[in-house]
Amino acid sequence: MNKNESILRLRLSTVDCNTSTKYYQLTAEIPEIEKSKIKPYFEYYTPENFDDLNNVAGKTKGWMCKSEDVEKVEKILGIIETRKKQENTLESVQRKTNEQHFTVNNNLKINI
């Protein structure tokens, strides 16, 4: 397990393009008492749970919750590094990267 995985959060694990469903897994082990609190939102999936594996990306086996339950699970477990926070950070980095590329491209001069 790397340093980032020791921080408890939900990470995108599987995308089922057949149903447009995203599935998330926890990045760290949690105590049994915590598992019992979030169990209603998780299901153990196997490849047989998916209609067409050719249209499924990611892991197809393990305990996962669907995207509509992510916020509930984060709240129950007191997760600080929420999916929303991760998305906002990613968007910010992407914006900065795009701005840097735009600035570099505008400063280029082509001599013919």
**Using an 8 Å Cβ cutoff, are 25 and 10 in contact?**
yes
Q: Does residue 111 sit in helix, strand or coil?
A: coil
- Both tokens of 80, joined, read 């600080």
Domain boundaries, the chain: 3-79
Query: Strand 10-16's sheet: what is its strand order?
Result: 43-45, 62-66, 21-26, 10-16, 56-58
* Gyration radius of the chain's alpha carbons: 19
Query: Mean pLDDT for each 10-residue chunk of the chain (112 residues)?
Result: 68 96 96 97 97 96 97 96 85 83 64 62
| Tokens, residue 37 | 């609190």
Q: How much is the pLDDT for 87? A: 83
pLDDT at 103: 65
Tally of CB atoms within 10 A around 14? 21
> 10 forms bridges with which residues in the sheet?
26
